[in-house]
Amino acid sequence: MALFGRRFWQRNAEGEKRSDMSSATQESVLAALGTVQDPELHKDIVTLGMVKDLAVAGGKVSLTVELTTPACPLKDQIKADVERALAPLGVTELALEFGAQVRGSKAGAGTTDLLPSVKNIVLVASGKGGVGKSTVAANLAVALQRHGASVGLLDADIYGPSVPILMGVNEEPGKVEVDDGYKLAPPVAHGVPVMSIGFFLERDQAVIWRGPMLGKALQQLMSDVHWGELDYLVVDMPPGTGDVQITFSQQLKCSGAVLVATPQDVALADVVRAKSMFDKVHIPIVGMVENMSYFVCDGCGKQHEIFSRGGAQRAADSFGVPFLGEIPMVSAIREWGDKGVPILAQEPDSPTGKAFLEAAARLAGQLSVASEAAEGAPGLKIVTT
């Protein structure tokens, strides 16, 4: 039947006059849609199973394209490509809707998965502290949520858990009854459930956390929290490389890591060290973000260049990892952050808000790519013979 569709397609492509009756059939439409590529996954949308609810009646076609993330940055392109592909079939009315079914991207050999109801776990990391890692993590989480995904935010920075402050969370986690007892219910802020290792420690206790105590707290953080079904869990990691990274790499099935750097420090050894640590534990870097990339002046509103802007882009290129975007340096980020409001929630239409929304969309796109790769990966078979 696919051939049948192709024949119509060719005849029309050859410039034959269109008949009054539309040539569109279920088959010819499917065949035409089979020429539309998902720009990120580099496969056609029929093969990828993204075409849903296709109905063809006369010249009227309706369908839903089920994207791999609601934060898909390429909706417009896909829509245009679908229209172009269907044009030769004499379609008079096209009702195209978008849906989204986020796919999981937990790749790799590991079998331990403490969070099976979470589809994608993203570790936000940096070479050192103070680069805006927590700010980026919080805003990316809210941005993914604004794009329509269900998102959680986990603060695992034992040295300076700041997510509750950034998100304006004042309450302690509640308790929720589950099958075999109780779990912790994360408080919700700006539409995002938030859990922090800070809830488990007294103030200023973090620095002395080592060994078994830390292990126990991390274990609680990983397995005792009731997240429910999540498309994305964004994790604010401690800066640098250390026990938390190792524990997470062993206990969670992580989709990938996002490296945050400022233009000044990308060339420094600690960013390279952070990158090679993730390489070592086979967690892919799904993107780099340059924070405080350029300066937006309070007074004149103009952009001012910062020496070495673009450093993260160059580092991403040299690492061979995707670049997700540049976040400007604006005092509103700190001011709103101090008040418990991620800038994106306050000013979604500002250049900064848009920068976060775009970075989140690119991140979601990269995770879709990773899920496609995970599906094709052979996996590890362990047998005794």
Ligand X SMILES: Nc1ncnc2c1ncn2[C@@H]1O[C@H](COP(=O)(O)OP(=O)(O)O)[C@@H](O)[C@H]1O
Q: Which is nearer to Mg ion, 143 or 197 (CB)?
A: 197
- CA 100 from centre of chain: 13
Least gap, CB of 373 to another protein (angstroms): 12
190 interface partner picked from another protein, Mg ion, ligand X, none, CB below 5 to 8 A per type: none
Based on the shown chain and the rule CB under 6 A, indicate whether residue 129 belongs to the binding site for ligand X: yes
19 interface partner picked from ligand X, Mg ion, another protein, none, CB below 5 to 8 A per type: none
Q: Which is nearer to ligand X, 274 or 327 (CB)?
A: 327
Least gap, CB of 132 to ligand X (angstroms): 3
Residue numbers of the site for another protein (CB under 8 A)? Answer: 107-112, 249-251, 253-254, 279-283, 378-385
Least gap, CB of 285 to another protein (angstroms): 13
Based on the shown chain and the rule CB under 5 A, indicate whether residue 150 belongs to the binding site for Mg ion: no
217 interface partner picked from another protein, Mg ion, ligand X, none, CB below 5 to 8 A per type: none
* Contacting range for ligand X; rule: CB under 6 A; set: 96-104, 188-196, 316-324, 325-333: 325-333
Q: Which is nearer to Mg ion, 157 or 231 (CB)?
A: 157
Least gap, CB of 222 to ligand X (angstroms): 20
Query: How far are the Cα atoms of 92, 182, 211, 227 from residue 201, in angstroms, in the given order?
Result: 63, 20, 15, 20
CB 30 within 8 A of CB 51: yes
Based on the shown chain and the rule CB under 5 A, indicate whether residue 352 belongs to the binding site for Mg ion: no
Total chain residues near Mg ion (CB under 5 A): 2
**Residues whose CB is less than 8 angstroms from the CB of residue 143 and which lie 6 or more positions away in sequence, other chains included:** 71, 344, 356, 357, 359, 360, 361
Pair type for strands 192-196 and 188-189 = antiparallel
Q: Residue 100 region, left (φ>0) first, then alpha (ψ -120 to 50), else beta?
A: beta
334 interface partner picked from another protein, ligand X, Mg ion, none, CB below 5 to 8 A per type: ligand X
CA distance 258 to 332: 23
Least gap, CB of 125 to ligand X (angstroms): 10
**Quick one: which of 28, 68, 145, 162 contacts ligand X (CB under 6 A)?**
162
Give me the amino acid identity at 21.
M
**Quick one: which of 24, 29, 123, 131 contacts ligand X (CB under 6 A)?**
131
User: Cα dihedral angle (293, 299, 300, 306), rounded to 10 degrees?
Assistant: -20
Based on the shown chain and the rule CB under 5 A, indicate whether residue 366 belongs to the binding site for Mg ion: no
Least gap, CB of 273 to another protein (angstroms): 16
**Residues whose CB is less than 8 angstroms from the CB of residue 280 and which lie 6 or more positions away in sequence, other chains included:** none
249 interface partner picked from Mg ion, ligand X, another protein, none, CB below 5 to 8 A per type: another protein
21 DSSP assignment: S
In the structure encoding, which two tokens stand for residue 159, read together?
Answer: 């040295």
282 interface partner picked from Mg ion, ligand X, another protein, none, CB below 5 to 8 A per type: another protein
DSSP string, 214-243: HHHHHHHHHHSB---SEEEEEEEPPSSSSH
Based on the shown chain and the rule CB under 5 A, indicate whether residue 162 belongs to the binding site for Mg ion: yes
Total chain residues near ligand X (CB under 6 A): 17
In the structure encoding, which two tokens stand for residue 272, read together?
Answer: 């390279």
Residue 171's H or E segment, with its range, is none
Query: How far are the Cα atoms of 24, 37, 53, 62, 279 from residue 85, in angstroms, in the given order?
Result: 12, 11, 18, 14, 41
**Residues in the site for ligand X, rule: CB under 6 A?**
126, 129-135, 162, 291-292, 327, 329-330, 333-334, 337
**Residues in the site for Mg ion, rule: CB under 5 A?**
134, 162
